[in-house]
Amino acid sequence: MEEAARQPEHWGGGVRGEKINRTMTLAAELGCKITSGALAAGSMLPTEAEIQHQYGVSRTVVREAIRHIAAKGLVTVGPKVGTRVRDNNDWNILDAEVMRWHLMAGDRRRFVEALYEMRLINEPEAARLAASRITPEQSARLSDALAAMAEHPRGSEKLIIADLDFHRIILEATGNPILRSLGTMIERSLSISFSLSWRQNPQEETVRQHARVYDAIRRGDGEAAGLFMRRLIESAFQDVIASLYSQADGGPVPEAPVDASDPLKNMQVQ
C-alpha cells in the first residue's frame, strides 16, 4: 500500500506501471502530467510522432493511451486539430486511476485537502445515520474491523484493509446505496491516505479514535458518532499532511475544517 504513495518510478522517461504494459504506462505518464498541471488545461499534447519518439512506443500504443485518458475526460481529440487538455471540471475525478495520478503528482496538497473535505461532508453524517440503522451483522463486522486494526502491525497491508473495512461498513450501514458506493469509488485514494496517516499517529491512539466512533454507533448515539467521526477525519488529515509535507517544505501544516459548535472541541476523552 505504501508503495502506491511514493513518487512514480521511471522507465525510458515515463512512469513504470504496475504491469509491464506500455499502453497503460504511457497513459499513466500522460495522466500524471495532466493532473499535476505540467500539461495545463487548453494546452496541446505533443503529436503522435513526437510521443512515439519520446517514449519509444508504437503509434498503436500512443493512440490507445490517448483513448484511455480521453475516456476519463482528461483530453479531447479532434480530427486534424490534435489532442487538447480539458479543464479539470470535465475530468472524472472519482475514477480510480485519475485519483491515483493526482496522488502521484509532486504537489498533492490540493487534492488531499479536497479528499478530506469531501470525507468531512459525508462520513460524520453517515456515522450518525449508521447509529440508528446498523444491523447486528454489520455491527459484528464493524467490531471485527476495529479488532483487526489493533491486532495488525502499524502501517501493514492488513491494518489498512481493516481501516478501509471499518469506514466502508459504516457507509453500508446507512442503508443508502449512493453513500455505500462512495466508499468503493474512493477506495484507492483512501488506502493511500490511510497508509500515510498510520505513519504519524501512534497506533493505540488511532485505534482509540475509531473505537469512540464504534461505541457511539453501537449504543445508538448518532450525534456522538457523527462528532467522533469528524474528530477522527480531522486527525487523519493532519497526519497525512504532516507525512507528505512537513519535512519536505518546512511550512506550517494547515488545519482541517473545524465546526466551532462542536461540543467535543475541548473535551478530553480517556
Q: What is the pLDDT of residue 209?
A: 96
Please give the average per-residue pLDDT across 94-100, as a whole number. 87
Contact predicate 99/93, CB 8 Å: yes
State the pLDDT at residue 246. Answer: 55
Residue 249 has pLDDT above 60, yes or no: no
Of the listed ranges 13-22, 203-212, 223-232, the least confidently predicted one is: 13-22
Other Cβ atoms within 10 Å of 154 Cβ, number:
14
Q: How far is CA 10 from the centre of its chain?
A: 23
Higher-confidence residue: 147 or 18? 147
Nearest to 218 by CA among 144, 125, 123, 130: 130
Mean pLDDT of 218-245: 91
Residue 193 reports pLDDT greater than 50:
yes
Model pLDDT, residue 215: 98
C-beta separation of 254 from 197 below 8 A: no
DSSP β-ladder status, 10-11 and 75-78: unpaired
Domain ranges of the chain: 2-90, 108-249
pLDDT > 90 fraction of the chain, expressed in percent and rounded: 56
Asked if the model's pLDDT at residue 141 lies above 70, the reply is: yes
pLDDT average, residue stretch 155-172: 91
CA 141 vs. chain centroid, Å, equals 23
Over the chain, what is the mean pLDDT? 82
Q: What is the pLDDT of residue 242?
A: 80
How sure is the predictor about 89, in pLDDT bands with cuts at 50, 70 and 90? very high
Q: Does 1.20.120.530 match the CATH number of domain 108-249? A: yes
Tell me how crowded residue 21 is: count the other CB atoms within 10 A of its CB.
12
Residue matched to cell numbers 503522435: 48
Does residue 220 come out as left (phi exceeding 0), alpha (psi in the -120 to 50 range) or beta? left
CA angle (17, 19, 23) in 5-degree steps: 70
Nearest to 29 by CA among 92, 56, 3, 94: 56
Is residue 240 within 8 Å of residue 196, measured between CB atoms? yes
Is residue 245 very low, low, confident or very high in pLDDT (cuts 50, 70, 90)? low
User: Where does 2-90 sit in CATH, by number?
Assistant: 1.10.10.10
Q: State how far the Cα of 248 lies from the Cα of 212, in Å rounded to an integer.
A: 33
pLDDT at 13 over 60: no
Q: pLDDT-derived band of residue 173, with 50, 70 and 90 as boundaries?
A: very high
Q: Which residue type, as a one-letter code, is found at position 219?
A: R
Q: CA Rg, the chain, in Å?
A: 21
In sequence order, the β-bridge partners of residue 14 are 11
Q: Check whether 269 has a pLDDT greater than 50.
A: no
The 10s digit of each residue's pLDDT in 108-131 is: 888 888 889 999 999 999 999 999
Q: What is the C-alpha separation between 111 and 108, in angstroms, rounded?
A: 5
| AA identity, residue 244 | L
- Percent pLDDT > 70 in the chain is 79
